[in-house]
């Protein structure tokens, strides 16, 4: 992401100039920004103080860390589920082979008793 030429406190100062009565066009010309940039800043930082912006930045960083942690845990959880399903499937298949014998046909003790 492109780094801004302005810090958050400078952006707040620019927004306060228009609150003080200067026209948006004059403020934009004075600071060398477009009116679109000004309105983007106003949407994001409008009505905030410098301390609010600092807190917002901290919350955004914490949110990014939590999202990364969630993604890691979710990936691990998915891998564990796949592994456990694979093991359950393998053990069920082994039990089926045990009961059916190597030929694949199921035989039981009752059949053996009838042959005697």
SS3 category, 87: helix
Ranges in the chain, pLDDT < 50: 107, 109-116
Q: Within a domain: residue 69? A: yes
Is the C-alpha dihedral spanning 40, 43, 44, 46 positive or negative?
Answer: positive
pTM over 0.75: no
Q: Within a domain: residue 3? A: no
Q: Within a domain: residue 66? A: yes
Helix (H) or strand (E) holding 82: helix 50-100
Q: Within a domain: residue 2? A: no
pLDDT tens-place string over residues 80-99 = 998 888 887 777 666 666 66
Count: domains in the chain: 1
Of the CA atoms within 13 Å of residue 72, those in its CB half-sphere come to: 6
Q: Within a domain: residue 80? A: yes
Q: Within a domain: residue 21? A: yes
Say if CB 31 and CB 14 are below 8 A apart: yes
Residue 92 is predicted with a pLDDT of: 64
Range of the domain at 95: 8-115
């Amino acid at each position: 992401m492109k780094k801004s030429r302005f810090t958050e406190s400078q952006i707040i100062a620019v927004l306060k100039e228009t609150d003080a009565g200067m026209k948006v066009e004059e403020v934009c010309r004075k600071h060398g920004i477009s009116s679109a940039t000004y309105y983007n800043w106003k949407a994001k930082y409008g009505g905030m103080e410098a301390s609010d912006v600092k807190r917002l930045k901290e919350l955004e960083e914490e949110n990014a860390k939590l999202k990364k942690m969630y993604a890691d845990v979710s990936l691990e959880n998915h891998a564990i589920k796949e592994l456990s399903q694979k093991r359950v499937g393998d053990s069920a298949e082994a039990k089926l082979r045990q009961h059916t014998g190597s030929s694949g046909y199921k035989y039981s003790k009752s059949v053996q008793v009838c042959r005697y």
